[in-house]
Amino acid sequence: MKIAYVSYEVSPFAKAGGLADVAGALPKYIKNAGEDIYVVMPFHKNIENNFNTSKFQLVKTGLIPDSHTHKSPFSVYKSYLEGSSVVIYFIKTNTLYDSKNIYDEENIFLKTSYFCDAVLKTIKECEPDTNVINANDWHTSLIPVYLKTVYLQDNILKKIATILTIHNIGYQGLFNPEVLNQAGLPNYLFNINALEYYGKVNILKGGILFSNIINTVSPTYAKEIQSEEYGYGLEGILKVRSEDLFGVLNGIDYSIYDPIKDPHIFYPIESYKDKLKNKTSLQEYLGLVKDENITLISFIGRLFEQKGIDLISKIIDLLLLTDIQFVLLGTGDKKYEDYFATLTKIYPKKVSINITFDVDLAQKIYAGSDIFLMPSKYEPCGLGQMYSMRYGTVPVVRYTGGLKDTVSEYNPKDKKGTGFGFYEYQEANLLYTLMKAVYFHQKRKDDWTNIFENCMKEDFSYEKAAKKYIELYKIAFDKKRGY
Ligand SMILES: Nc1ncnc2c1ncn2[C@@H]1O[C@H](COP(=O)(O)OP(=O)(O)O[C@H]2O[C@H](CO)[C@@H](O)[C@H](O)[C@H]2O)[C@@H](O)[C@H]1O
């Protein structure tokens, strides 16, 4: 089978969040498991600024998408995913993909729809024996829509099966109906049984309805999104498609997130002692009081309510009355960026607020913290808690989505469990759970080293996920052929 893995962001070339990590890792493990897979992404301007693109090979030039009304030509460049033989194609046009923030809202429909049609043209020109396309999130959700409408009779494209992976249902791509014409798609799609959604066009809805199968990034989230609380309005159609909806837990790339070899962290971590060396180095690096007994609590992520940042903002002053330090790395909602920035002035030696995107610092924080905080309102999978555990940092989470599937409550009786968590989305629950974790860290050292060891023993490698994706590709392929 030949698979095209299509993503708007792929690490390390362009990363805004967790999707990039998955797109930069999963295909490598699928290839290692014996399947033929390549990746396609836009040639974002940032890539030119940050990578030596003169080594990319120009494969095709002067191509024009067949259906889209934006008739600007594009070129296809080829390179490889980091440390692998997995081919990645970059779609480059001089008229698009030049914003600093790749998800900048200006012209986002034009950019994403053009990309979807250009991917299909690229497949026809460069990889005509492709069997399955794995689209990801709303930005690539028009691919199955194009295939089941304008390319239904295309000799090459008509045989391709599709799977849509939902990494976050909170983002759906809502636009005015006129965009269908712009994309070169038929107007009849503006229909409640297709892309119409309360007077708008909903791109993710199209992806869900027109793909052969759908999956999301944890088994719990696959169930949750069929409920009103988590479905963001799409629970109804997901229920209709529940037989074709699967949940596959993400992994993490063990070749990059390696506590022994990671070049970003201060010391390799093999024992709890090594962990403490990373902690005190991090304290020094961030200008905090250097003391291994103070509990260092960290948060890394997008500063949006999905991540529970409102709950954290409600309890942080109380928490800071205790013997803890708080480190935050993130960007997002200006309201929260400003709020957390004020804490630095009030508690200069106790908090370190970093409103920036910094992969190197993220690694140092994962390795140097005692507790990693992830009290998400919803969490499709979550990677931060898995990275933390890999470096022996204990997660404190809300048990939802992938957090529920990856963190287990520590039980001092049988010494099992990897963290602490709560269910109801309330600040009192977060504060209580955090205080419990701080208590264990400060007063029950033996238990704490047990949790540290339990975390480090967890297996979140991608091999398991890769096998499951291959099974899904086969299911999609069989469905397409009518089996
Ligand atoms: N300021 C910053 N500086 C440096 N690095 C930063 C950073 N802010 C975030 N990151 C990094 O971005 C990634 C975030 O991944 P997550 O899975 O936790 O969340 P995200 O919501 O983006 O992903 C969505 O897709 C993924 C992948 O499927 C799902 O796990 C998740 O639940 C879903 O919401 C991590 O690698 C983190 O270290």
CATH code of 452's domain? 3.40.50.2000
- Would residue 263 count as lying in a domain? no
Residues 177 and 63 in one domain: yes
Give the Å distance between the CA of 17 and the centre of ligand 1: 4
Taking the chain, what is the end-to-end CA distance rounded to the nearest angstrom?
A: 16
Q: For residues 383 and 374, what is the distance between their CA atoms, to the nearest angstrom?
A: 10
Number of H helices, E strands in the chain: 18, 18
Task: For residue range 227-276, list pLDDT tens digits in order.
Answer: 999 999 999 999 999 999 999 999 999 989 999 999 999 999 999 999 99
Q: Mutation test of ligand 1: which of 102, 220, 300, 376 has the most ligand atoms closer than 8 Å to its C-beta?
A: 300
Residues 246 and 176 in one domain: yes
Per-position pLDDT tens, the chain of length 483: 999 999 999 999 999 999 999 999 999 999 999 999 999 999 999 999 889 999 999 999 999 999 999 999 999 999 999 999 999 999 999 999 999 899 999 999 999 999 999 999 999 999 999 999 999 999 999 999 999 999 999 999 999 999 999 999 999 999 999 999 999 999 999 999 999 999 999 999 999 999 999 999 999 999 999 999 999 999 999 999 999 999 999 999 998 999 999 999 999 999 999 999 999 999 999 999 999 999 999 999 999 999 999 999 999 999 999 999 999 999 999 999 999 999 999 999 899 999 999 999 999 999 999 999 999 999 999 999 999 999 999 999 999 999 999 999 999 999 999 999 999 999 999 999 999 999 999 999 999 999 999 999 999 999 999 999 999 999 999 999 877
Q: For residues 201 and 206, what is the distance between their CA atoms, to the nearest angstrom?
A: 9
Distance (Å) of CA 319 to CA 13, 279, 365, 394, 401: 38, 20, 19, 17, 26
What pLDDT score was predicted for residue 159? 96
- Would residue 243 count as lying in a domain? yes
Residues 218 and 317 in one domain: no
- Of 28, 260, 237, give the one whose Cα is nearest residue 141: 237
**Is any ligand 1 atom within 6 A of the Cβ of residue 19?**
yes
**Is any ligand 1 atom within 6 A of the Cβ of residue 330?**
yes
Give the Å distance between the CA of 59 and the centre of ligand 1: 32
- Would residue 427 count as lying in a domain? yes
Q: For residues 483 and 95, what is the distance between their CA atoms, to the nearest angstrom?
A: 43
Residues 419 and 298 in one domain: yes
8 A C-beta contact, residue 47 and residue 102: no
DSSP 365: H
Residues 219 and 290 in one domain: no
354: which 2 tokens? 């970093």
- Residue 239 among known ligand-binding residues: no
Largest CA distance in the chain: 69
What pLDDT score was predicted for residue 72? 96
Give the Å distance between the CA of 63 and the centre of ligand 1: 34
Amino acid residing at 193: N
Domain ranges, residue 390: 272-459
Q: For residues 369 and 279, what is the distance between their CA atoms, to the nearest angstrom?
A: 6
Q: For residues 410 and 371, what is the distance between their CA atoms, to the nearest angstrom?
A: 13
Q: Mutation test of ligand 1: which of 381, 387, 399, 407 has the most ligand atoms closer than 8 Å to its C-beta?
A: 381
Residues 234 and 113 in one domain: yes
**Is any ligand 1 atom within 6 A of the Cβ of residue 329?**
yes
What pLDDT score was predicted for residue 128? 98
- Of 75, 1, 135, give the one whose Cα is nearest residue 475: 1
Residues 453 and 476 in one domain: no
DSSP bridge pairs for 2: 36
What pLDDT score was predicted for residue 481? 83
Q: Report the number of distinct structural domains present in the chain.
A: 2
Residues 413 and 323 in one domain: yes
Q: Name the pairing type of β-strands 74-80 and 57-63.
A: antiparallel
- Would residue 449 count as lying in a domain? yes
Residues 339 and 396 in one domain: yes
Residues 448 and 470 in one domain: no
Q: What is the ipTM of this complex?
A: 0.98
Q: For residues 381 and 384, what is the distance between their CA atoms, to the nearest angstrom?
A: 9
Residues 390 and 242 in one domain: no
Q: For residues 316 and 197, what is the distance between their CA atoms, to the nearest angstrom?
A: 39
298: which 2 tokens? 């960290």
